[in-house]
C-alpha cells in the first residue's frame, strides 16, 4: 500500500534460488533466511518504494552442517522434517495466555513435549492499556490493532514473538501459532456473543461480515501484506511447524453470515501458504496450515491440514476417548494429516485431570492423528498444564519413541475386534506390526 518493498534473492552454488521478503522491526529493515543446502550462497537485495528501485548485489555466506532437522512438511497423513526425520509432536495449547510459554520450553522438552500451540494475539489487548505492573498487555496486543491502525504492526507484540520463536528453537520445541481467533472476527449479533472486532484494525475498511471477501478489496490486500509480514519475520524458523489460520471459524461473523464466502477465503489462504511459505512446502506443493470448527471433523476447510476442536465430552473423562478417537478416524479419510487443535476437560463441572487428558490423547494417537490432540489450557475451567498432566504427555512421548514407526507413511487404521462389547479400541498397523 505504497510503502517500502524489501526482498532478497538467495542463490546456491548450483544456481537454485529462493526469493525471500524482508520486513521492518521498528528500528531496522531485515531479511531472515535459512538455507536448505550446504555450500556457498550469494545474496542480492532489492528495495523499492514510490521513488524508485535500489539493488545491491554481492553478499555471500557458506552453509555448514548442523544437527537440526529443518522444517516440518507434509508427508502422506503425517509430518516429516526436511531431512527425513518424522515429526510426531506431543504438546498442548495455551491459547490466549498473556505468557504463552507455560511451562518454559526447556521444561517442556525435558518432559518429552515438543510442540506448543497458541494464539498470536490477546485479541482484546491494546498498547495504551499497558500498566507497569502488567506489561504483558503491550507484549501480547494484536499485531494490527485499532489504536495503531491498519498496516501498522505492533513491534512490542512482534518482539515478544521473536523471543518465543528463538527460545523454542533453542529447546527443540515446535510451534503451531493461530493467526486469527474466532473472537477477533466476531461482532455483536453472533449467537456466541460479541467478540473483539472492535479492536480489529480491519473494522476501518470493512464490516465483520465482509472480512472474508477475497475479491480486490482493501481487507484482502491488507491481509496479504499481514501474512507476508508473518512469513518474512518468522517463516524462516525451523520452530514453526505450521499455522492455524482461524480457530473455530463458525464463531466468526463472516462465516455465520456467509459460509460460502468464508470457505472461499479458506481456499485463498491455502493458495497463499502454498505459494509463499517455501520453507514448509512439500514436494507435492502442500503446506501445513489448518482452519478449525468445533466437533465437526467431516468439514473440509480446503487447507492441507485437517483439524477440529472438540468439547462435546469436556465433562466426561471416559467418553472423551470415543469423541477424539472417532473424530480422528473421520478426519483420516481426507488423506491429510489430521489432529485436534484443541480439546479440554472442564474441571469445574465434572472432568478430572490428568484422566481426561490421558484418555483423549491416547485415543487420538491410536486412531491415526498426526500429532497428539492438544489439550486446551486457559487457566480457568480448563486448567494450565499441571505436573501430573505433563507427566502423562511424557508417558505418551516415551511410547511413541519406543514404537519408532509412529508417523510412518505406511501406517493405516487397524480393523479391530473386541470380545467385550462395552469396550472401545483404536489402533494403527503396518504390514508386519501395529500398536
Cβ neighbours, 10 Å, residue 109 = 15
Residue 136, pLDDT score:
61
Within 8 A by CB and 6+ apart from 133, the residues are none
CA dist., res. 279 & res. 174, Å (int): 14
- The SS3 call for residue 300 is coil
Q: Check: CB of residue 113 under 8 Å from CB of residue 395.
A: no
Strand arrangement of the beta sheet that strand 72-75 belongs to: 72-75, 78-81, 86-87
Would you say how long the chain is, in residues? 435
Q: Which three cell numbers stand for residue 183?
A: 473472537
CA dihedral 146, 237, 11, 3 (to 10 degrees): 10
**pLDDT at residue 38, as a whole number:** 95
Helix (H, G, I), strand (E, B) or coil at 316: coil
Rounded CA gap, 99 and 120, in Å? 11
Mean pLDDT by 10 residues, the chain (435 residues): 86 95 95 95 94 88 95 96 95 95 97 97 78 66 90 92 97 98 97 95 97 97 97 98 98 98 98 97 97 98 98 98 98 97 98 98 98 97 97 97 92 93 93 94
Residue owning grid cell 487457566: 379
What burial class does residue 32 get, using C-beta atoms within 10 Å of its C-beta: 0-12 exposed, 13-18 middle, 19+ buried?
middle
Picking from 205, 242, 209, the residue whose alpha carbon sits closest to that of residue 225 is: 205
Positive or negative torsion for Cα 172, 24, 228, 204? positive
Q: How far from the centroid of its chain's Cα atoms is residue 185's Cα?
A: 18
Strand partners, 176: 117
Nearest of 295, 388, 301 to residue 344 by alpha carbon: 295
Note the pLDDT of residue 132. Answer: 67
Q: How far apart are CA 257 and CA 429, in angstroms?
A: 43
Residues near 431 by beta carbon (within 8 Å), at least 6 away in sequence = 410
Distance separating alpha carbons of residues 195 and 197, to the nearest angstrom:
6
User: Each residue of 138-157: b (16+ CB within 10 Å) or e?
Assistant: bbbbbbbbbebebeebbbbb
What whole-number distance in Å separates Cα of residue 182 and Cα of residue 412? 33
| CA atoms 404, 410, 411, 416: torsion sign | negative
Q: What was the pLDDT predicted at 131? A: 65
* Whether 111 contacts 372, CB under 8 Å: no
Helices and strands per DSSP (H, E), number in the chain = 9, 19
Residue 140's pLDDT is 82
Q: How far apart are CA 195 and CA 248, in angstroms?
A: 13
Report the 10 Å Cβ neighbour count for 19: 11
C-alpha cell at 365: 494417537
pLDDT of residue 129: 63
99 touches 138 (CB < 8 A): no
Q: Which of 174, 7, 156 is nearest to 89 (CA)?
A: 174
From residue 277, alpha-carbon distances to 19, 159, 188, 273, 281 in Å are 11, 21, 34, 5, 6
End-to-end CA distance of the chain: 54
* Cα dist from 84 to 176, 195, 394, 425, whole Å: 20, 42, 24, 30
Amino acid at each position: 500500500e505504497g510503502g517500502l518493498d524489501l526482498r532478497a534473492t538467495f542463490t546456491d552454488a548450483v544456481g537454485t534460488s529462493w526469493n525471500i521478503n524482508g520486513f521492518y522491526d521498528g528500528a531496522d529493515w531485515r531479511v531472515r533466511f535459512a538455507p536448505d543446502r550446504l555450500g556457498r550462497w550469494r545474496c542480492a537485495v532489492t528495495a523499492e518504494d514510490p521513488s524508485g528501485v535500489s539493488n545491491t548485489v554481492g553478499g555471500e555466506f557458506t552453509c555448514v552442517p548442523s544437527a537440526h532437522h529443518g522444517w516440518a512438511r507434509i508427508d502422506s497423513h503425517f509430518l516429516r522434517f526436511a531431512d527425513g526425520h518424522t515429526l510426531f509432536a506431543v504438546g498442548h495449547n495455551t491459547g490466549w495466555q498473556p505468557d504463552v510459554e507455560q511451562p518454559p520450553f526447556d521444561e517442556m522438552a525435558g518432559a518429552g513435549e515438543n510442540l506448543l500451540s497458541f494464539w498470536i494475539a490477546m485479541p482484546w489487548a491494546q498498547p495504551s492499556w499497558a500498566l507497569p505492573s502488567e506489561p504483558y498487555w503491550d507484549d501480547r496486543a494484536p499485531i494490527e490493532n485499532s489504536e495503531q491502525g491498519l498496516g501498522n504492526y505492533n513491534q512490542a507484540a512482534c518482539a515478544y514473538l521473536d523471543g518465543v520463536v528463538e527460545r523454542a528453537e533453542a529447546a527443540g520445541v515446535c510451534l503451531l501459532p493461530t493467526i486469527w481467533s474466532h473472537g477477533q472476527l466476531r461482532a455483536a449479533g453472533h449467537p456466541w456473543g460479541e467478540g473483539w472486532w472492535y479492536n480489529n484494525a480491519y473494522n476501518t475498511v470493512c464490516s465483520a461480515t465482509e472480512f472474508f471477501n477475497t475479491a480486490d478489496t482493501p481487507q484482502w490486500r491488507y491481509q496479504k501484506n499481514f501474512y507476508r509480514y508473518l512469513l518474512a519475520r518468522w517463516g524462516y524458523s525451523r520452530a514453526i511447524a505450521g499455522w492455524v489460520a482461524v480457530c473455530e471459524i463458525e464463531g466468526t461473523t463472516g462465516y455465520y453470515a456467509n459460509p460460502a464466502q468464508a470457505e472461499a477465503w479458506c481456499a485463498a489462504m491455502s493458495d497463499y501458504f502454498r505459494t509463499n511459505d517455501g520453507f514448509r512446502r512439500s514436494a507435492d506443493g502442500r503446506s501445513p496450515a489448518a482452519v478449525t470448527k468445533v466437533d465437526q471433523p467431516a468439514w473440509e476447510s480446503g487447507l492441507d491440514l485437517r483439524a477440529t476442536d472438540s468439547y462435546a465430552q469436556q465433562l466426561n473423562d471416559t467418553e472423551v476417548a470415543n469423541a477424539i478417537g472417532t473424530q480422528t478416524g473421520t478426519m483420516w479419510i481426507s488423506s491429510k494429516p489430521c489432529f485436534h487443535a484443541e480439546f479440554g476437560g472442564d474441571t469445574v463441572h465434572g472432568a478430572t485431570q490428568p484422566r481426561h487428558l490421558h484418555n483423549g490423547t491416547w485415543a487420538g494417537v491410536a486412531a491415526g492423528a498426526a500429532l497428539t490432540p492438544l489439550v486446551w489450557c486457559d487457566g480457568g475451567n480448563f486448567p494450565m498444564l499441571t505436573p501430573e498432566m505433563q507427566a502423562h504427555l511424557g508417558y505418551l512421548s516415551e511410547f511413541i519413541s519406543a514404537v519408532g514407526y509412529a508417523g510412518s507413511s505406511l501406517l493405516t487404521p487397524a480393523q479391530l475386534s473386541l470380545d467385550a462389547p462395552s469396550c472401545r479400541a483404536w489402533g494403527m498397523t503396518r504390514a508386519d506390526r501395529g500398536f
